[in-house]
Amino acid sequence: MKAKLFAAAALAALFAAGPAAAEKTKIDFWFGNSGDIAKRVQEQCDRFNQSQADYEVVCTSQGSYDASLQNTIAAFRAGKQPTIAQVSDAGTLDIMLSGAFYPANKLMADNGIDVDWNDYFSGIRAYYATSKGEMYSFPFNSSTALLYWNKDAYGKIGKDHAPATWEEAAADFKALKEAGYACPLGFNISRDEMWQYEEQFLAVHGEPIATKNNGFGGLDAELIFNKGKWVQFVKDLKGWYDAGYAVIKSKDTGQTFVEAFAAGDCQTILTSVGDHGNIGRTAKEGMNWGVAMLPVYEGTARKSSFVGGASLWVLSGKSDAEYKAAAAFFQFIAKPEEALTWSTVTGYIPVRNSGYEYLVKNGFYDKAPYQGRELAIKSLTASPADGTTPGGIRLGGLLQIRQEISNGMQAIFVNNADIQASLDEAAARGNQILRRFEETYAGKELP
């Protein structure tokens, strides 16, 4: 009798526990952010996991964008790839041509989720879409470059606004130096800063970095950044550097230019809107600062800046259940409420019109810590996406190209090498990278 009662109880417990014990579908999400942003990504993953009971996304920082891409490639070759991988803007073409992914638009359609892809800001959508407008990845931590300025310091030279032109900026830097400020402009010429000092400059001035519509028109594109207004900018920047108006700040000098600005040691910097939150948290107590769109040279009709940051790619070789989990995750992070939380804790911008409108409706940009971040949206949409200017950069090996440009800048600023010759040589080295990439993908057409 006892045995029968025990068996009956065990069977009842088994049935009772059955539904609750059903395992969640787990998927891996590898990302490249580190430090404070990595914490914010993990928090978003936790919110998704707590919002439902069917799926669990396991989010793991790889330490850097480079590491995230390389580790993902290695894992894919070993058949151990994550379901979702973050790839920086610079790696977009590399993964596009790999074919090792599940297109974003197809993933959502296959899982019965209707997405208004036109809700994405045009400048962001164009960077990650095919020539037909099909979205292959999900824009995630999107940014663009802004000018950060110390209002108190500028007030000392009689200015109540940031410089709108580079001619005005030159006069301001000189005045700040004469007023006793040791670092009117803090900057760096490392590979990771080339996107804002070169690519963003070219974007807002409407000048190409390469032929073939910045590479969108074919793999046979050639670099031409060594011509036009950017050459003048490098000459001006070198002149400011030699005069002490601009100072290189990096880890090697003991203080990055972002840290120098937050500490009040440098009065102007160019950096991502993604740094807005960090500067707000670390700025010297009482410091009065703001942001503005990047200056342009006089007579320039401002064009839209390019989107920076990264997007999320879904990799091939996974099960239907895992893809269903991924689709649910993307549906979750697309909510306007998530856009508000994400922008609040990071400084990154909402990637969709609906998210931006939700932030405006909630008075987000009226609050002191976040004022000015809307300028990133205005910068990205400064000119219509009508095809008259490139909507981004679609070049293979872009990280290596940035390194070659950085090497050319190092020669100019450290070794006093001839400016035009150094930029020409950097372009030649970059073109060699493009030709190797073209050979690797010979016969393939850009999507």
Q: Is 121 helix (H, G, I), strand (E, B) or coil?
A: coil
Same domain, 333 and 425: no
User: Can you give the residue range of the structural domain that contains 67?
Assistant: 23-142+308-374
Same domain, 44 and 32: yes
Report yes or no on 181 lying in a domain: yes
Report yes or no on 3 lying in a domain: no
| Residue linked to tokens 């919110």 | 47
Question: What are the residues whose beta carbons fall under 8 Å from the beta carbon of 307, sequence distance 6 or more?
Answer: 89, 123, 124, 127, 139, 142, 143, 144, 380, 392
Same domain, 435 and 356: no
Same domain, 210 and 61: no
202 closest CA partner among 444, 423, 50, 397: 423
If one counts every other C-beta atom within 10 angstroms of the C-beta of residue 4, the result is 8
Same domain, 203 and 337: no
Same domain, 239 and 93: no
Helix (H) / strand (E) containing 310? strand 308-315
Report yes or no on 15 lying in a domain: no
Same domain, 98 and 133: yes
Same domain, 97 and 121: yes
Same domain, 232 and 339: no
What's the whole-model pTM score? 0.89
Report yes or no on 171 lying in a domain: yes
Q: What is the CATH number of the domain that holds 208?
A: 3.40.190.10
Interatomic CA distance for residues 359 and 121, integer angstroms = 15
Report yes or no on 42 lying in a domain: yes
Interatomic CA distance for residues 182 and 93, integer angstroms = 42
Q: What is the pLDDT along the chain (447 residues), one digit of tens a residue?
A: 444 444 444 444 444 444 445 689 999 999 999 888 899 999 999 999 999 999 999 999 999 888 888 898 899 889 999 999 999 888 888 888 888 999 999 999 999 999 999 999 888 888 888 878 889 999 999 899 999 999 999 999 999 999 999 999 999 999 999 999 999 999 999 998 888 899 999 999 999 999 999 998 999 999 999 999 999 999 999 999 999 999 999 988 889 999 999 999 999 999 999 889 889 889 999 999 999 999 999 999 999 999 888 999 999 999 999 999 999 999 999 999 999 999 988 888 899 999 999 999 999 999 888 999 999 999 998 887 655 566 788 999 999 999 999 999 999 999 999 999 999 999 999 999 999 999 999 888 888
Same domain, 107 and 170: no
Report yes or no on 18 lying in a domain: no
Given a contact cutoff of 8 angstroms between Cβ atoms, the answer to whether 293 and 378 are in contact is yes
Interatomic CA distance for residues 149 and 142, integer angstroms = 22
Same domain, 56 and 201: no
Count of structural domains, the chain: 2
- Bridge partners of residue 292, in order along the sequence: 147
Same domain, 28 and 89: yes
Report yes or no on 382 lying in a domain: no
Report yes or no on 174 lying in a domain: yes
